[in-house]
Chain A
Amino acid sequence: MQIGDAEIVDTFAEAFKMSAARVIITGLTPEWAMNSAVSMTGFATSIIGCKCEAGIERTLEPEETPDGRPGVSVLLFAMNAEGVGKRLLERIGQTVMTCPTTSCFNGLESENKTVVGGQLRFFGDGYQISKVLDGRRYWRIPVMDGEFLVEEEFGIQPAIGGGNLLILGEDIETTLHATETAVAEMRKVPGVILPFPGGIVRSGSKTSSRYKFLFASTNDAYCPTLRGFAPETHVPEDVGCVMEIVIDGLDLPSTEECMRIGIETAAQNGAKQVSAGNYGGTLGQYNIHLHKVLESQLVS
């Protein structure tokens, strides 16, 4: 399949069941809400080394937030609900509560909940105050700029992680342009994040290594400098650079839509080829076929 000059490889992305939560951070100004969100989603690119994957979903206008202040919506993914709960507690405690003027609210309705504010309240050392409004409990924790307001519980739901695209281009500048442009469009899809720096990962990995102490290593089949002698290569002769976009989504339709937009945008902005990474379909619970994702848009 071709989109313009770009080949869309007939392959699939192998994605995994995860769990996720949505956190709404508000601040006195949009900048302070964003400062906190950037901090909260730092060092959260890959579950492998960071224990979670987190990113900014979008900014929120005052009328969209529970307290009528400017805000940011953050999504956080982990392998299971317990992992989400632990990371929320750590990150909200260390990067939202610490940030001037912020308040923190749950952004996901779910029967499965984890206690966050109900744990952070102990930082108040007995001076904390509970408020219940419209069936939700909030904690007011006294801090040096006034009070930190945080919701007692946050919802957790099943989600999908590891949707991905591989963008192959002539050189680093062209490939980066195609990928950056794709990222900008993909980020408009609600319910997804692209957890890597700038939404892009340059050091894609494979799930094996010659070293016993590592379980993952460089994706040599997509390393252009190894094309001459790697055991297997997927780098065409006219490709000098490969970039990867990893997508985590709250549900399959959002993830697929995000991938569709990414494929089309990259293909229309200089990519020579768009592909995806998988493990032969033996590990992940979801196989997202690139051609099917594109065809579903044609049908609709």
Chain B
Amino acid sequence: MSLKLTLHTSPTVPLEAENISPDCVEGLTAAEIAALPAYHGNQQATLGDFFTIEGSANGEIELEGDLKKVKMIGTRMSHGRIVIHGDAGMHLGTNMSGGEIVVEGDAGDWAGAEMSGGVLEIKGNAGNALAANFRGTHVGMQGGEIFVHGNAGSEVGGAMRRGLIAIGGDSGDFTGVNMKAGSIIVLGELGWRTAAGMVRGTIVSMHEARILPTFTYATTYRPSFLRLYLVRLREMGLPVEDAQLNGLYHRWSGDSVELNRGEILIFDR
């Protein structure tokens, strides 16, 4: 039986639970895990003050309950699997480098921030700053994959350096802001100011988008590499149409305020 944490007391202010991670609970007993520290606002508490803990730490952790106020789950995890049966709070999977997190509901802001590996799957919606860099750092996501089946907020993939972000719904404003490389694929619509400050990298949208005037139209073509990505999205259950797999895309190059080597690909409906 995998390790199961069930919320028995809802936090009244955000609970910082970065110890809920396979790396942190490996080899510990349920009692030892319950004694791990967690910050409830500015008060030190323990995981056991909020969660009932059952099972053994065998690499998989399941979480039950309304976890909207539980932050930093899976922070810096490098292996293993976390499944959240419901919503998750902010900073989910921050700095993760491996393993897998599955959220069956929504995730708060900063999910996957500065991650470098692993897979983060959000079956509902993601908040703002998905996989983005923190204020004051220059690089966001550096590897791994994120799949959001719903919508995402603003600043998705800010300062991204490598990896894949796929959004099944819409993506908010400033998608890919200051992006350095990597790939963001949005099956829904993009917000304003997409790819502002983009250096390199790829943003794909299946709908018409507002393109900044610092981007230049290049051509309409079939990007062969995109097929690999769309096949991957299909494997993860995102609704990619055959027409999108085989279709033509308008290529826009930019951002010319930077290196001008990035691209926005817009599906030609």
Contact = CB atoms under 8 A, between A and B. Distances in A.
B164 A133 contact: yes
B225 A131 contact: yes
Contacts of B210: none
A133 B181 CA distance: 13
Q: A interface, by DSSP: helix, strand, loop or mixed? A: strand
Interface string A113-156: 00000000000000001111110001010000011110000000
B227 A134 contact: no
Contact of A149 (B163, B183, B221, B224): B224
Interface centre among B202, B224, B227 (most CB of A within 10 A): B224
27 contacts: A66-B228, A67-B224, A67-B227, A67-B228, A67-B231, A68-B227, A68-B231, A69-B227, A129-B261, A131-B183, A131-B202, A131-B225, A132-B143, A132-B163, A133-B164, A133-B183, A138-B225, A138-B228, A140-B225, A146-B219, A146-B221, A146-B223, A147-B223, A147-B224, A147-B225, A149-B224, A149-B225
Interface residues of A, number: 18
B162 A146 contact: no
B227 A146 contact: no
Contacts of B163: 132
B98 to A, nearest CB: 12
A147 B181 CA distance: 18
Nearest to A138: B225
Interface string A155-176: 0000000000000000000000
Give the interface residue-count category, chain B. Answer: 20 to 34
A103 B228 CA distance: 11
Contacts of B223: 140, 146-147
A134 B232 contact: yes
The 7 A-B residue pairs with the shortest CB-CB distance, nearest first, are A67-B227, A146-B221, A149-B224, A103-B224, A149-B225, A140-B225, A131-B225
Nearest to A136: B228
B209 interface: no
Contacts of A129: 200, 261
